[in-house]
Chain A
Amino acid sequence: EVQLLESGGGLVQPGGSLRLSCAASGFTFSSFAMRWVRQAPGKGLEWVSDISGSGSNTYYADSVRGRFTISRDNSKNTLYLQMSSLRGDDTALYYCAKGYCSSTSCYAGHWGQGTLVTVS
């Protein structure tokens, strides 16, 4: 059974940094792209970032590019999101998700339960 468990969220001041983690199990982690998606309180879903299975390709939303860094440790089956220069509009529940890809077109098939980041 696929399991994704996010951690690392919390309260941080504007301009601060935070690193989110997503521990994966139940599948061959290195074979799948992974994704971060966020949801501000009471708002819709926003795609944040993708990383390929090897970690060699990364993609970012314009709203976070240059401030957030996605990475993975395939030996630990763990996905990361390093967030810096945090702003109030980064306040959200951050979900990690497992990607299913046809070439470079990937959808999110399994999602974690999310970790809450509050910037205030």
Chain B
Amino acid sequence: DIQMTQSPSTLSASVGDRVTITCRASQTINVWLAWYQQKPGKAPKLLIYKASTLEGGVPSRFSGSGSGTEFTLTISSLQPDDFATYYCQQYNSYSYTFGQGTKLEIK
């Protein structure tokens, strides 16, 4: 199975900061990567698919990049609503593994 490694596991930041979360795959997954946001007690929400395509309705401060084995999720200017846990998931080949998650906390 393909292993997905996110870093950091926890990130402390302030409103207005630019933050980047990294996701690395143990083998190439081309561009078949999605990013999800999850808030406590809520279902995950799709942010980005195919590594860099923004889901409809998602604010443009979110962006994704990468291909092959290294990917990033960037939030250009953190807003209060963005403090949550973020997961990457590869969907290049079954099993469709998730990263372990990055908890974005208020500094």
Contact = CB atoms under 8 A, between A and B. Distances in A.
A47 B43 contact: no
Contact of B95 (A44, A61, A106, A109): A61
Interface in B73-89: 87, 89
A59 B98 contact: no
A23 to B, nearest CB: 15
Q: Could you say which interface size class chain A belongs to?
A: 20 to 34
Contacts of A61: 95
Contacts of A100: 49
Interface in A36-65: 37, 44-47, 50, 59-62
A46 B36 CA distance: 13
Given A45-B98, A100-B49, A107 B89 contact: yes
Contacts of A45: 36, 38, 44, 87, 89, 98, 101
B100 A111 contact: no
Given A95-B43, A114-B43, A107 B91 contact: yes
Contacts of A113: 42-43
Chain B interface main SS type:
loop
A61 B2 CA distance: 12
Contacts of A107: 32, 34, 46, 49-50, 89, 91
A19 B42 CA distance: 22
B43 A112 contact: yes
A105 interface: yes
B92 A105 contact: yes
A108 B98 contact: no
Nearest to B1: A62
Contacts of A112: 43
Interface of A: 37, 44-47, 50, 59-62, 95, 100, 102, 105-114
